Amino acid sequence: MSAPTHARASPSRRAPRSAWRLALQGLGFLAGAGVLAWCVHRALGDPAQRAQLSRLLDAPWWAVAGMLGLSLGAIACDGLMFRAVLSPVRRLPRLDLAAVGGVCSALAYLPFKMSLLFRFVHHHRRDGVPILTIGAWVAATGALLLASVVPVVTATLTLDPGSRAWWWVAIAGVPALGLIGHLLSRALASDAAWRTIVGVLERTGIGLLRRAAHGRALRNLHGGVRMLADPLAITTGLVFRSAVVAAQAARFMLAARIAGVEVSWDQALVAGAAYNLVQAVSPGGVAGFREAGAAGAMKLLHGPDLLSTVLVVTIAEAVTNLLAGTAGAVYLRVDRLLLGPARAPEAPVAPPVPVDQ
């Protein structure tokens, strides 16, 4: 009788934790909105910043088109990056991944990680990808995100920005981290490592772990390591991930041109890296925190307040994300996704092919 009682009690113990988690994310969203309002108030309250923002109305068409095009390019590269990472396990249509990226970019402004939730729901219900495989997939893309921004952050904190050493670390560090991640994943995905993991779980003596050693969940979860162990997948994914950061940097260069301020490429690259990093880790929506992070990073290198430049980027991206999200939702028929029957999940992912042979 004690076991069933414990099973019935555990959901009630988890419910308060879930409620607290949702409450914290909601507060995070409100805090982000407050930060964004503060950024706008500060920019409008400074005559120089206000003059820079007013230039947006007189911006040349090619600059506006470039901002919108770079935003769309970043969404497309992000979708291609997701496709490349999943390719060792499943191949999904390129246009579908681009459309999912558009919807996720629009949902990123909302709290509770709605963009991530949509990705899970879409790929599980429409494509039949197992939940744990999607989790491993997202974790693998997160590793590529870190590989693309950590060298820039490291160079900025340790070296003179704009120096030759700074550029070497910021650029060459990306493939170096990718290679390290690939070698570690390759070692874990090898046949010997697979047998070791299964053996350890079997020797624990815990029934749940022993069943998991040969179950579907572990094989699906191990797919994340298989993704990064594939040289083509990690190389292609890292190229597209780096292209997203480069597109963000180019947007900051164009935004500075529109605002009439001088920004160097190293400053734009740091701002783009900060923009991407905050967007990935912020649980309460990206609005506010991302702008403050990018403006702070640019101020660290530049000195003057470039908040108006960041707000120009935000305005252009908001327009693009709204259009891309609407087009993606129409293409994917989100109404059918939410209301229609779920597709049966795919068969369990096969154990990884030994890579040491």
Q: What is the pLDDT of residue 228?
A: 87
Residue whose C-alpha is closest to residue 309's, from 259, 357, 269: 259
Residue 59, SS3 per DSSP: coil
Give tens-digit pLDDT for 270-297: 877 877 777 776 665 555 566 666 666 6
Tokens of 1: 């009788």
Q: What is the pLDDT of residue 355?
A: 44
Cα(210)–Cα(207) distance, integer angstroms: 5
Full DSSP string of 71-125: HHHHHHHHHHHHHHHHTTT----HHHHHHHHHHHHHHTTSSTTHHHHHHHHHHHH
Give tens-digit pLDDT for 187-213: 877 767 777 777 777 777 666 666 666
Q: What is the pLDDT of residue 86?
A: 92
Q: What is the pLDDT of residue 132?
A: 81
Contact between 332 and 103 under an 8 Å Cβ cutoff? The reply is: yes
Angle, CA of 278, 326 and 143, to the nearest 5°:
30
Q: What is the pLDDT of residue 240?
A: 95
Q: What is the pLDDT of residue 125?
A: 86
Q: What is the pLDDT of residue 232?
A: 92
Cα(244)–Cα(73) distance, integer angstroms: 8
Q: What is the pLDDT of residue 283?
A: 60
Predicted TM-score (pTM) of the model is: 0.73
Cα(274)–Cα(278) distance, integer angstroms: 6
Q: What is the pLDDT of residue 233?
A: 92
Tokens of 38: 């503060």
Tokens 């693009």 belong to: 320
Query: Tens of pLDDT along the chain (357 residues)?
Result: 444 444 444 444 444 555 555 455 555 444 544 544 545 545 455 555 555 555 666 778 888 888 889 989 999 999 999 999 999 888 899 999 999 998 888 887 776 677 888 898 889 888 888 888 888 888 889 889 899 989 988 888 888 877 889 999 999 999 999 999 899 888 877 767 777 777 777 777 666 666 666 666 666 666 777 888 899 999 999 999 999 989 988 988 888 888 777 777 888 888 778 777 777 766 655 555 666 666 666 666 655 556 667 777 777 788 888 888 888 888 888 766 655 555 655 544 444 444 443
Residues with Cβ within 8 Å of residue 83, at least 6 apart in sequence: 91, 92, 94, 97
Contact between 70 and 247 under an 8 Å Cβ cutoff? The reply is: yes
Tokens of 141: 């893309």
Cα(201)–Cα(197) distance, integer angstroms: 6
Contact between 49 and 261 under an 8 Å Cβ cutoff? The reply is: no
Residue whose C-alpha is closest to residue 355's, from 191, 224, 221, 197: 191
Tokens of 168: 């070497």
| φ/ψ bin of 135: left (φ > 0), alpha (ψ from -120 to 50), beta (otherwise) | alpha
| Helical axes 131-158 vs 61-86, angle rounded to 10° | 130
Tokens of 287: 């609005």
Contact between 226 and 89 under an 8 Å Cβ cutoff? The reply is: yes
